[in-house]
Structure 1
Amino acid sequence: MTSPTPAPTRRTVLTGTAALAAAGYVAAPSYAGRGGGGPGARRVTLTVLGTTDLHGNVYNWDYFKNAEFDNAAHDDIGIAKIQTLVKALRHERAGQPVLVIDAGDTIQGTPLAYYYAKIDPITQGATHPMATAMNLVGYDAAALGNHEFNYGIDTLRTFESQLEFPLLGANAVDPSTKRPVFPPYIVTTYRVGRGRTLTVGVLGLTNPGIAIWDKANVEGRMEFPGLVEQAQKFVPEMRQRGCDLVVVAAHSGADTSSSYGDALPFPENAASLVAAQVPGVDAILVGHAHKEIAQRYVRNEKTGQDVLLVEPYFWGNRLAVMDLVVEERRGKGGGEGGGRTSRWTLVSATGQSLNSNTVAEDPQVAAAVRDQHDTVVSYVNSVVGASAVALSAARAVVEDVPIIDFVNYVQADAVKADLTGIDAALPVLSIAAPFNRQASFPAGEVTIRDVAGLYIYDNTLLGVRVSGADVRSYLEFSARYFKQVSGTGPFAIADVTNAVTPTAPSGTPDYNFDSIAGLDAPLTYDIDVSQPAGSRITALAYDGIAVTDAQQFVLAVNNYRQSGGGGFPAVSTATVVYNRQNEIRQLLIDWVIANGTIDPAQYASVDWRLVSGGQPITVS
């Protein structure tokens, strides 16, 4: 099946200079020629173009909807559109130094990326579509993201070998030598006039959370120290090697926080800390947080320099543009970051974020990946079974719905079938979260994309032994997702969900709200949202009998949770009794193929509810 190419009904698509103007571009001042630094002084503008969190998006296409991507803001996505902006800026700034970098999370996130990791893997000869596309864009370097490690080191190394630019990871180190196992940085020299050069270094930093999130893939093979600690080692080295400017590509958010609490000594989101605590950094391309920061400054605590931070929005719907203006230094002066004296002084650093939703996709990039895209469209639209009724995840964050029960049922059933010894006699429970509120199964034929839209992450399944006390504390932790409200409503969904917590300053994401269900008997409980977090779980019972602290269960969990993702209690230290490295999404697909029909009558029940003072609340 070849995907249709719909006409651009929402907007007019443009190319070249017109595209830049429509995308919100503000031309940088021209500093060619003499500057204000004395006789003969010159100014040069380095343009840094940046992307991040592309997550396998080449086209403006939603594989789960089998349609052109669209959202409430009418954003567009995909590296094919980003390339149009990059080409236009390169043309607009011809003769000036231009650097193109990425801040990570490239090879996971869409069926396109999954297909060439698992179905037709690049480790067996295929070329990754993101490698093809990024090579055509002409990136100079990219930082490693945490999702680069999802498919294992062999897949990552194969992807690396297919790139025409380096993957940087100064804080992905060998456990024995503590030296980086990927290049920590690059140094590039530009000719900027007769007899003059500008030397630019790019330092790549990835996320310490990889040690938790992909423990099964990296334990014993790589370690991930803090961003600040590694930047403090390598920025002076880069300055000593002659870097006039140091740019950091950091797969780490700007607003300091950690989803894993104190499970690691290094914060998950530390880009601002690098700016504040590491002298000699001039600008940071920020990634990981999936936020848009057009321009932010963080003052370095030692030098007083205002360091520029820019984060483009994810999936390729924004392109970051950083303009770093330097002036030729006259005479001697102190080097920055403990290095040698620079030939240039940074006099201005500005940022902006360009929107790709007015831009036509680049025909060369689009053509190069089209066959792989069409193959994946055919794959995800293949029918694997049927659903007895229409099922939706739209209200999964406020009520127990059958489509989430389906995930729990398949997970628990798979774990139970493999248990032996004393564990085989224990009740089996399962956790699941509403990853995608837009997920649904139609009444009738169900395709791979329907199932993949329900379970959008490449998690694997484990089973751990837990106590009744563990189950209660887990549910209490999960219930932090809800805002504290009084009365029984009616409330809007947003009135009660996505609560702000110390580890989620922008609101607890849906994927950190887990419900628990029993396989052979119901696990029932109420969540009292009138109570403060930590005191919300009431009437917790298994098969109608109150759960005791000492009671034993087997709990089906995904590898993200079991490795500590989200900081949930108990499961990361519990005894593992099942781990076949089976992907949960594939287990769901295989179940549908084997059973033919998804019928809620087989597995679904309403086992949890939101209450206020013991009375059910109404959520409109």
Structure 2
Amino acid sequence: MPASPLNRREFVKKSAVTGAAVAAGSAVAAGPAEAAEHHPAPKPPKAPKTWSFSILGTTDLHSHVFNWDYYKDAAYSDTKGNTVGVAKVATLIKQQRAAKGEDHVLLVDAGDIIQGTSLGYYFARVDPITGTNGKKGPKHPMAVAMNLMRYDAAALGNHEFNYGIDTLRKFESQCDFPLLGANALDAKTLRPAFQPYTVKHIRVPGAPDIKVGIMGLTNPGIALWDKDNVNGKMVFPGLVEQAKKYVPRLRALGCDVVFLTDHSGLDGSSSWGDALPYVENASNLVAEQVPGIDAILVGHTHVEVSSYTVKNEETGEDVLLSEPYCWGYRLSVFDFEMELEHGRWKVVSKTAQTLNPAAVDEDAEIKKHLEADHELVVKYVNTAVGTCTEDLSAAEACWKDVPVMDFIHEVQMESVKAGLSTADAALPLISVAAPFSRTADIPAGNVTIKDIAGLYIYDNTLYGKKLTGAQLRDYLEYAAKYYHQVPAGTAVDTATLTNANSFWDYMYDTAAGVDYEIDIAAAEGSRIKNLTYNGAAIADDQVFVVAVNNYRANGGSGYPHIAAAETAFSTPDQIRDMMIAYVIAKGALDPADFAAANWKLTQAGTPVFG
């Protein structure tokens, strides 16, 4: 005889389980043994009127399997005591299943799975899952881990497209769960290129199944950020538009609960200006404008939002949202209390919270299956490619022109220069690049792959775009909004100087090849002073070739002019690989070959840092 379901108080209490040991087995007790044959048959169980279940959620795992920092070659650590990796999250998930019952728990992800660490790069480019020279490739460690964890579904993230559609399709084929993308459409047919949704059944003994519709939505920005990989192949309409199409379909299929997994933040913002007609971070708008949604797992913005409620403007019903940070820092837990009414289940209450896996051990099963892959990557990133004559740190790169950034500029300009036509080679060449990591450091002595990968953490490719002098000034003015205004005569505190306007480090480009000052005492839009090339003021109609990464060249972060600018050069080769090749070719990395202090911060003409 099946046991009675957990009551709501017991069930929600189980969600608070984190690092404490949990008894093995199901939380639903087994019924008593059958009596002897001469006893009458037991009465059939009374159909339950209430039932509880949970949906667990991760997002932006970015190929973190273990609690390891490949750039530092050490266990991950930060000032907040966070840990990373699905191996730890898997332990929390097992605890949740043990506490609540295996059949009471679903597991979902909100995207950005296969890119982000040296492990992700290794299995996309070094020993690719797509195979090489006709040989079958390995299984992606993230597919292995997530299959072991028994995911029910995952949304596509924008970084799923970084390595091209073939790599993504191979990863998809290795997963035991669907990759969902209701707004990832075939460019020619405008039909879904990936499964839009899946329907899961929660079994309830003696009562109808609870049908849970799970729909995935990805980010429209893929059309910009990975234009080279998707242009002419796929299109990405807005989240609200596609949710309005598919949520009613899920309800028509008899779903008692509709759950969305969105690779899209919840503040309604966009980083691309008017480059696309859709909103980047639209989960709150989906909740507000599309009736029939119960809850949304949110991703993309790398923040922790334990529980957030949005009222649907049509029905007045509350939609529950949660975002579990990134990298496996947290696990979202959505708890649903259901009630059977006239033969149909309805949601009578729902709550959300995030759990921290820092105190639990890594899952032994994932360690058993993936430690060998991990060791392969550790060996790879510790491969020496050359030497460096002095320590090159990025610690001050966000407010000073430092040599380690000039290393990136030098590689970009040399690579673009080698591929220009004769006519374009006669134009002045400059470079723009962002300080991706303040903790990056290339040490004096041996330089390894991890040192360069720690400086250039993204899988960007390289473009050469043409901008006029006037457009270049606009571009640099746009970058300068990164700084908070600090009046002349006021002390500058670097702890509060940057990231104005939610303009993050990866969005802030500095330039090499031109000289300029950024007056942080001036108002936004009039901060660029003394912009010169080879000592002469830049004319508005002067034409430059600008070495720039593909993310920015295609409109990422909303910089003016660059996306529409004429292309003088492009390559599918990654900038990180070019940097590695540069060090190998030189043998020794010497800032004397490339360092040039060509920009500085000022306050009304007075240098901020001497």
Q: Residues 300-315 of structure 1: matches in 2 within 5 Å?
A: 300-315=312-327
Letter in 2 for 1:555: V
Q: Which contiguous aligned blocks of 4+ residues in structure 1 show a shift greater than 3 angstroms? A: 21-25
User: Could you say which residue in structure 1 is the equivalent of 2:587?
Assistant: 596
Give distance in 1, aligned partners of 2:16 and 2:201. Answer: 30
Give distance in 1, aligned partners of 2:507 and 2:325. Answer: 22
Give distance in 2, aligned partners of 1:316 and 1:270. Answer: 23
User: Could you say which residue in structure 1 is the equivalent of 2:7?
Assistant: none
Give distance in 1, aligned partners of 2:350 and 2:303. Answer: 20
2:571 to 580, 605, 620: 580
User: Could you say which residue in structure 2 is the equivalent of 1:179?
Assistant: 191
1:512 to 507, 510, 516: 507
Give distance in 1, aligned partners of 2:273 and 2:20. Answer: 38
1:228 to 240, 264, 272: 240
User: Could you say which residue in structure 1 is the equivalent of 2:38?
Assistant: none
- Percent identity between matched residues is 53
User: Could you say which residue in structure 2 is the equivalent of 1:455?
Assistant: 456
Give distance in 1, aligned partners of 2:20 and 2:402. Answer: 41
Give distance in 2, aligned partners of 1:533 and 1:18. Answer: 48
1:52-104 CA-partner distances (Å, limit 9, x unpaired)? 00000000000000000000011011000011001111010116521100000
1:259 to 264, 271, 274: 271
Letter in 2 for 1:583: Q
> Would you say the 8 A contact 1:387–1:445 is kept in 2?
yes
**Structure 1 unaligned residues grouped into runs of 5+:** 1-16, 33-38, 332-342, 501-506
Give distance in 1, aligned partners of 2:442 and 2:202. Answer: 55
Give distance in 2, aligned partners of 1:95 and 1:157. Answer: 30
User: Could you say which residue in structure 1 is the equivalent of 2:404?
Assistant: 403
User: Could you say which residue in structure 2 is the equivalent of 1:495?
Assistant: 496
**Structure 1 residue 493, shift from structure 2 partner:** 1.1
User: Could you say which residue in structure 2 is the equivalent of 1:363?
Assistant: 364
Letter in 2 for 1:487: A
**Structure 1 residue 421, shift from structure 2 partner:** 2.3
**Structure 1 residue 585, shift from structure 2 partner:** 0.2
Give distance in 1, aligned partners of 2:152 and 2:163. Answer: 24
Q: Residues 292-307 of structure 1: matches in 2 within 5 Å?
A: 292-307=304-319
User: Could you say which residue in structure 2 is the equivalent of 1:608?
Assistant: 599
Give distance in 2, aligned partners of 1:211 and 1:24. Answer: 46
**Structure 1 residue 175, shift from structure 2 partner:** 2.0
> Would you say the 8 A contact 1:97–1:192 is kept in 2?
no
**Structure 2 unaligned residues grouped into runs of 5+:** 1-13, 30-45, 132-136
Q: Residues 518-557 of structure 1: matches in 2 within 5 Å?
A: 518=513, 523-557=514-548
SS in 2 for 1:411: helix
Residue 45 (1) aligns with residue 61 (2): no
2:208 to 176, 196, 199: 196
SS in 1 for 2:234: coil
User: Could you say which residue in structure 2 is the equivalent of 1:427?
Assistant: 428
**Structure 1 residue 22, shift from structure 2 partner:** 4.3
User: Could you say which residue in structure 2 is the equivalent of 1:503?
Assistant: none
Give distance in 2, aligned partners of 1:159 and 1:274. Answer: 28
User: Aligned residues, how many?
Assistant: 572
Give distance in 2, aligned partners of 1:73 and 1:56. Answer: 21
1:56 to 63, 68, 71: 63
Residue 79 (1) aligns with residue 86 (2): yes
* TM-score using structure 2 length: 0.91
**Structure 1 residue 179, shift from structure 2 partner:** 1.5
> Would you say the 8 A contact 1:24–1:355 is kept in 2?
no
**Structure 1 residue 617, shift from structure 2 partner:** 1.6
Give distance in 2, aligned partners of 1:435 and 1:494. Answer: 17
User: Could you say which residue in structure 2 is the equivalent of 1:120?
Assistant: 127
1:91-138 CA-partner distances (Å, limit 9, x unpaired)? 101165211000000000000000000011000011111000000000
Give distance in 1, aligned partners of 2:507 and 2:489. Answer: 24
Give distance in 2, aligned partners of 1:152 and 1:22. Answer: 38
Give distance in 1, aligned partners of 2:121 and 2:552. Answer: 21
SS in 2 for 1:360: coil
User: Could you say which residue in structure 1 is the equivalent of 2:167?
Assistant: 155
User: Could you say which residue in structure 2 is the equivalent of 1:20?
Assistant: 17
**Structure 1 residue 31, shift from structure 2 partner:** 13
User: Could you say which residue in structure 2 is the equivalent of 1:70?
Assistant: 77
User: Could you say which residue in structure 2 is the equivalent of 1:35?
Assistant: none
**Structure 1 residue 23, shift from structure 2 partner:** 7.9
User: Could you say which residue in structure 2 is the equivalent of 1:141?
Assistant: 153
> Would you say the 8 A contact 1:19–1:359 is kept in 2?
no
User: Could you say which residue in structure 2 is the equivalent of 1:338?
Assistant: none
* TM-score using structure 1 length: 0.90
Instruction: Call closer, same or farther: CA 1:91–1:138 in 2, change over 3 Å.
Output: same
